[in-house]
Amino acid sequence: MATTKDITQKELPVFSRTRCKRCGICSHFCPVGAIGVRDDGTPYLAKPEACNSCGLCSDMCPDWAVSLTTHADEADDEAPGSPSRVEDCQESSTR
């Protein structure tokens, strides 16, 4: 079982709210089911402890909206699986 320390030190997917188009490809290709998709299509990190940092979500995203980073490295418009930040994805895709 992963500890909080293990999770904060490994690279986790970060979803860019300015690039994401809510297609669900990142979730579909996640081999461990760590990425969930809300009813409106926004991705979120549902199981951070399950993520193995393989990078398939990032590699398969057609819009370069997913990157792997540690919590300390997150960019201003991105957050690893944070529901409050990922939900902004819908708003930004209409701009």
pLDDT in tens, 20-41: 999 999 999 999 999 999 999 9
Pairs from 69-78 (Cβ < 8 Å, separation ≥ 24):
69/11, 69/12, 69/14, 70/8, 70/9, 70/10, 70/11, 70/12, 71/8, 71/12, 72/8, 74/14, 75/14, 75/16, 77/16, 77/17, 77/18, 78/14, 78/15, 78/16, 78/17
Domain span at 59:
4-93
- Looking at the chain, the whole-number percentage of residues with pLDDT higher than 90 is 61
**Tell me, what CATH number does 54's domain have?**
3.30.70.20
Domain count of the fold of the chain? 1
CA gap 91, 22 in Å, rounded: 11
Q: What is the pTM of this model?
A: 0.68
